[in-house]
Amino acid sequence: MVRFLLSRLAQSVFILIGVTMITFALAFLVPADPVRMIAGRNATPTVVENIRHQLGLDRPIPVQYASYLTRLAQGDLGRSYMQRTDVSTLIASRLPATLLLMAGAIFFELLIGLSAGIWAATRRGRFSDKAVMVASFVGVSAPHFLLGLLLLYVFANLLGLFPLGGYGTWRHLVLPALTLGIAGGGWYGRVMRSSMVDVLRQDYIRTARAKGLKERKVVLVHALRNAILPIVAMIGLDIGIFMSGAVVVESVYGWPGIGQLAWQAIQVIDIPIIMGVTLTAAVAIVIGNLVADLVTPFIDPRVRL
């Protein structure tokens, strides 16, 4: 187990370095010049070249990459070209909003997924089972931006139950979190259903029933404990989807998270921010995948570490 963890950690470091390398290369392939964005529209060519030199952007790209890695190893993410602030400060000021959004999304995923899955599993083959499963597919097939706009239109504009976007109270959180959570909830519902159906066939469930336990207790206590494991692994794998979804959902709702930060930075090729956000997202995804891998053995006893 320890050996597994260590080797996975080593692999993760390798993956993260690879991510920085690709991002760095991509940032330099964009056909636009970050220095021109910094220097402004009154800059003469000399001024532009001087700023380029100040930023070290006149060095060969491999040299720049090496110096980026060196500073990264010391925990320095660099300084934003346009905002003139440490990237770590910028990310730290926005990460809580994104994490909050993710937490809210996971809450809704579980709420929707578990209730739909359990409901459908205990009514297997009936009309309500089919209806729930179709609904879950609709959730899966709806693009984030469409859901976002529709929820905003219905619940914020027509009914006035929630604010029209923004950040601050729990009311602001509900719609964006729900938007991100519906798609995942659809998947969870499907997985939960089949996992629950499997578990309900197991011997120990029959025993529990035979002992005269109430069906409600059998399902919600004994069966759920085992049936929920695949879901835990899925949450880990979902981090990547959240990171992508955040770009869209944050833009629809004006949520001040790192998705918006990345989007704005890409518009003006603010390379340090692009690097920092991608790396942050990659770290989150790697952690999520690790969690999923650690949980898997408990789901399927045949997979041993």
Say which residue the tokens 């709806």 belong to.
Answer: 142
* Closer residue to other proteins in complex, CB, 106/243: 243
The reply to whether 297 sits near other proteins by the rule CB under 8 A is no
- 169 contributes a contact to other proteins by CB under 8 A: no
Among 56-64, 114-122, 201-209, 239-247, the segment contacting other proteins (CB under 8 A): 239-247
16 Cβ contact partners less than 8 Å away, ≥ 6 residues apart: 279, 282, 283, 286
Residues 11-30 that bind other proteins (CB under 8 A): 11, 14-16, 18-19, 22-23, 26-27, 29-30
Q: Which helix (H) or strand (E) holds 297?
A: helix 271-299
Task: Pick out residues in 174-193 that bind other proteins (CB under 8 A).
Answer: 187, 190-191
Among the listed ranges 61-69, 93-101, 104-112, 209-217, the one in contact with other proteins (CB under 8 A) is 93-101
When asked if residue 266 is in the footprint of other proteins (CB under 8 A), the reply is yes
CA distance 271 to 26: 10
Q: How far is the CB of 62 from other proteins (least distance, A)?
A: 19
Site size toward other proteins (CB under 8 A) is 97
Residue 230 near residue 191, CB atoms below 8 Å: yes
**CA 298 to CA 231: how far, in whole Å?**
12
User: Which residues have a Cβ under 8 Å from the Cβ of 298 and sit 6 or more positions away?
Assistant: 229
Q: Which residues pair with 79 in a beta bridge?
A: 86
Does residue 240 touch other proteins according to CB under 8 A?
Answer: yes
Of 162, 222, 228, 238, the closest CA to residue 194 belongs to 228
- Residue selected from 110, 132, 180, 248 as contacting other proteins according to rule CB under 8 A: 248
The verdict on 173 binding other proteins (CB under 8 A) reads no
Instruction: Write the binding mask 132 to 151 for other proteins: x where contact by CB under 8 A, - elsewhere.
Output: --x--xx-xxxxxxx--xx-
Q: Does 166 bind other proteins (CB under 8 A)?
A: yes
Distance in Å, CB of 108 to other proteins, minimum: 18
Query: Among 169, 300, 179, 175, which Cα is nearest to 233's?
Result: 300
Residue closest to 240 by CA, chosen among 201, 197, 284, 270:
284
- Write each residue from 42 to 61 as x if it is in contact with other proteins (CB under 8 A), else as -, in one continuous string: xxxxxxx-xx-xxx------
